[in-house]
Amino acid sequence: MSLAAGFKELNNLLPGQVKANEPMARHTTWRIGGPADIFVEPAGVAELARLVGWVHSRGFPLYFIGNGSNLLVRDGGIRGIVVKIGRAFGQVRVEGTTLIAGAGTKLGALAAIARKSGIGGLEFTAGIPGTVGGAVVMNAGANGTSMADLVQEVILMDATGELDRRPAQELGFGYRTSNLLGSSLVVLEVTCRGVARDPALIRADMDRYLARRRASQPLSYPSAGSVFKNPPGKTAGWLIEQAGCKGMRQGDAQVSLVHANFIVNLGKATARDVQILIHRVQQLVYERFGITLNLEVQVLGED
């Protein structure tokens, strides 16, 4: 079956939830990316199950995204079907000091609910722009804490639409990774356990983290956050700056003058611009220190 025929079938299966040739620049915080052949934002779990079952039976490539905050989509776009786990998966329940959040919940929204509920432990998420599902897959972290410190269990959906509940110890958490990364499983719901804490103290810590973020990160331009993982015993930003890369520019992509581990979009940057900068930075850091910087951002699509 062609993708064009598949689009018609999907439109009938999930009316109002399917788009053709959707620019991915609309769905990434870098504001960069060519079109996805088919783009779907399911209206709920039942619709998502129908979708993945349909795709599984036809063998089309399938990709899941959240807020697109850690994602570089190449200029040629994505061949296949992109599924956005968005607002329909944004419900949150509070049970004592436990938070049960849909995968599409913004981390900022979850942190605000935790604060109002007197649940500590999520202070580190203040200002992180991703969704809960993406944060679990990437084991997002800041200020010495990560999602692995909070997650108790997740509910996943497999390629046939079946649900699976898994405890945190089976997720293979590591530095900015988990065994969900690159798998065919999609996160639907995440259970996080916090601790009872005074909301005023929670707010104070969040405000402090936000102030630090505003002072040290280039928040006035589109970016995808940290581009490279920190190698053992070093920070990528320091290495990049010492290698003379700070301020380096390719087209409208620039190694940030504020934080060297950010590449910002000054207005009309392309994915190719960003990729050229990435390769230059990796080369210069290796030449100076003998260290290979590995990407923290995920790259999808075709040149």
Q: List residues with catalytic annotation.
A: 176, 226, 296
- CA angle 174/177/178 to nearest 5° reads 80
Q: How far is residue 248's CA from residue 257's CA, in Å, rounded to a whole number?
A: 9
Q: How far is CA 289 from the centre of its chain?
A: 29
Q: Name the strand (E) or helix (H) holding 95.
A: strand 92-95
Q: How far is CA 4 from CA 55, 58, 79, 155, 198, in A?
A: 14, 13, 12, 32, 55
Measured between alpha carbons, how far is residue 137 from residues 40, 188, 230 in Å? 20, 11, 18
Yes or no: say if 229 and 175 are a contact pair by the CB < 8 Å rule. yes
Q: Cα-flanking dihedrals φ and ψ of residue 43, to 5°?
A: -85, -5
Q: 3-class DSSP state for residue 167?
A: strand
Show the CA angle centred on residue 193, arms to residues 191 and 198, nearest 5°: 135
* End-to-end CA gap in the chain: 24
